[in-house]
Structures are given as C-alpha cells and as structure tokens.
Amino acid sequence: KAGVTQTPRYLIKTRGQQVTLSCSPISGHRSVSWYQQTPGQGLQFLFEYFSETQRNKGNFPGRFSGRQFSNSRSEMNVSTLELGDSALYLCASSLEGQILAFFGQGTRLTVV
C-alpha cells in the first residue's frame, strides 16, 4: 500500500514568487491536513480538507491557500513568497474520525 506522497521534495523559490505543493493521500483516505514545520515553531497547522471541503484552518495569512480534488489529492499554494516561508511543508492523510497516523516525507521549500 503506497504511503502519503508529496511532490516535489525540494524547491527553491525567489521572494515574491508563488509556489504549489502537491499531496497524494493513502488510497481511501479522504482527509488531508497540511502543516508547516520550522525549527523555531515546530509543526504549525495550516488547513485540513475533507471531501473537497476545507474543514479547518490555522492562523496563517491569506497568501496560504489550498484545495482538494475529487480523488482526494490536495494542493497548497503560497503566493508572494517571503523569506519566512522557508520551511518543511508536511501533509498527512487519515480516514474520517481517525488521528493523524500517516505523514508524507514533506516538501522542503527554501525562499531566497
């Protein structure tokens, strides 16, 4: 059974650009959650999608957005990148009503 797949694994962008990250959940999982991980802040919750609907959202500016497709794959987009957006972006998928058990390897975003 394939795990949670995130692409790309590494990304370097310039300030002001935008970026799109992708997450393919485990087959059958309809819930996808996104987290930002930085050395100083740990894992910070971005948003959660379930059946193509954003169900929960963290305290991030509107530059951070996401969506989920009918096949449960999810994308997150960050517009007008800032240096402080450099982080490891993680997604996790789960079955409805279950804790976060499966994370992807993450996408390492570096903004220069």
- The residue among 99 and 112 lying less far from other proteins, judged by its C-beta, is 99
Nearest of 76, 64, 2, 68 to residue 30 by alpha carbon: 68
Site string for other proteins, 4-43 (x = CB under 8 A): x-x------------------------x-x-x-----xxx
Q: Are strands 42-50 and 31-38 parallel, antiparallel or unpaired?
A: antiparallel
Number of residues that bind other proteins (CB under 8 A): 28
- The residue among 79 and 100 lying less far from other proteins, judged by its C-beta, is 100
Taking the complex as a whole, how short is the minimal distance between the CB of residue 79 and other proteins, in angstroms? Answer: 25
Give residues 48-77 in contact with other proteins (rule: CB under 8 A).
48, 50, 55-56
Those residues with Cβ within 8 angstroms of residue 88's Cβ, 6 or more apart along the chain or in another chain: 36, 37, 38, 106, 107, 108, 109
Under 8 Å between Cβ of 26 and 49: no
The reply to whether 45 sits near other proteins by the rule CB under 8 A is: yes
Binding site for other proteins (CB under 8 A): 4, 6, 31, 33, 35, 41-43, 45, 48, 50, 55-56, 90, 92, 94, 96-106, 108
